[in-house]
Chains A and B, each alone.
Chain A
Amino acid sequence: MWRWLHPYAKPEATYRLNKKLLPWFAWPGVVLLAVGLVWGLVFAPADYQQGDSYRIIFIHVPSAMWAMGFYVGMAVAALIAVVWQIRTAEWALMAIAPVGAVLTFISLFTGAIWGHPMWGTWWIWDARLTSQLILLFLYLGVMALYVAFEDQRTGAKAAGILAMVGVINIPIIHYSVYWWNTLHQGSTITQMVTRLEAPTMPAEMLWPLLVNLFGFLGVCAALVIMRLNNEILRREVRRPWAIAILKGGQ
């Protein structure tokens, strides 16, 4: 692991690798997202129960999924940063956090919009929404801890430990909330939601959803890569290689 990682511990090497990787995420991401959104929002058939309002799942589901996925990614970066003391992993961790937090917020926001026609209220203590809300708090905690330290390295390490503690807790929180939810209300609402995401979902709906899933991943990964490269340049601004890049504009 260490041998494989070591070359990329150098900020310059990471920067150059990122530059190469960026187009492979950015362009497919943008194209897939555009295709998926138009397909899902315009061409996919309307749901026989919910009509057109179900279409928000084409944004809601990918953002909710990657919100969770990016948290795990953040924890992996944290593990690398804490165990192998690699600076670029610390920066990666902090590059991921805001993107994941925004994804979580999007999933909450779209969930509320979806809930309004379905349940007649903007917010309902549905297990999914509650669990996403707690995930948002976890992201906010990591970011708040990071900015609380004057020394950014210490901040990143502390935030990394918190992210790792959080990732162990996520499944526990998730299942606790589901259990709590079934305890306190009949699960009809949840069933109505899951029906759309179950494998019984018609293919005309499933395909645009899958396309959007990868579109979201591509675009968000590209955002993370760009954030990471900005951070690398910012930290290394006095080093010759960074000066050359900034002057050369490449």
Chain B
Amino acid sequence: MARVSNTALLQQLIRRDLRVALRQRSEFLNPIIFLLVVITLFPLAVGPSADTLARIAPGVIWVSALLSAMLGLERMFRDDFRDGALEHMLLLPCPVELAVLGKVIVHWLLTALPLLLISPLLALLLSLPMQALPILIVTLLLGTPVLSAVGAIGVALTVSLNRGGALLSLLLLPLLIPLLIFATAALEAATYNLSAAGPLAMMAAFLVLALGLSPLAVKAALQVSVN
């Protein structure tokens, strides 16, 4: 019989998942709207002074991004677990890690891409200095795949639970603290016209580490969850 190549399978998986997600549009757009609303709350809470906003902008943007990511993560495996597509995925004739990577890529495309698109708007709303905008985009480019990859571990662990929402955040947010520290440090450096190369290099290292190791953990977690 015909042998299916790894890339063909990966392509098929990504295509199907994107198609499914686009059929239920509200689901993946909700977290990004949530993010916008949260960002709006800050000027209302601390006052609209541009100085104050610019000072807290790096932290506010990244904390909001983390929180909104927690909302959207669940759908990475939840529906697949319910309708059996997860078992089908584990039995595909390709390494499970590869299929997991496909899931991470789809999640990234659906959540991080919209975030990147609206990032200039976020910078504008929070009076982030213009020279920091490229760095904001770079931190998002480096950091959001880490979010998706580490998030996948948490979702894979909690997917068989009926109410995993708050638990998911409890498991994941502590693990994501280094990401938050370096992303905001890079942004802060940029707002003061300093070099952000150091923190960005750390984020790149996290990215390599997360993409390399998390599929292994996700595989183990999924095998426990489908039991």
Contacts and interface: CB of A to CB of B under 8 A. Distances in A.
Interface residues of B, number: 26
A152 to B, nearest CB: 13
B178 interface: yes
Nearest to A157: B224
Nearest to B224: A157
Interface in A156-194: 157-158, 161-162, 164-166, 168-169, 172-173, 176-177, 179-180, 183
A144 B175 contact: no
A162 B173 CA distance: 13
A148 to B, nearest CB: 5
Contacts, number: 69
B190 to A, nearest CB: 14
B181 A149 contact: no
A140 B227 CA distance: 24
B225 A176 contact: no
Contacts of A173: 174-175, 177-178
B174 A148 contact: no
A141 interface: yes
A148 B178 contact: no
Given A137-B174, A138-B174, A161-B224, A154 B160 contact: yes
A161 B157 contact: yes
Interface string B106-132: 000000000000000000000000000
A210 interface: no
A161 B220 contact: yes
Contacts of B160: 149, 154
Given A165-B153, A172-B178, 6 more contacts: A158-B157, A158-B221, A162-B171, A164-B217, A168-B213, A173-B175
> Which 4 interchain pairs have the tightest Cβ spacing?
A176-B178, A137-B174, A141-B171, A157-B224
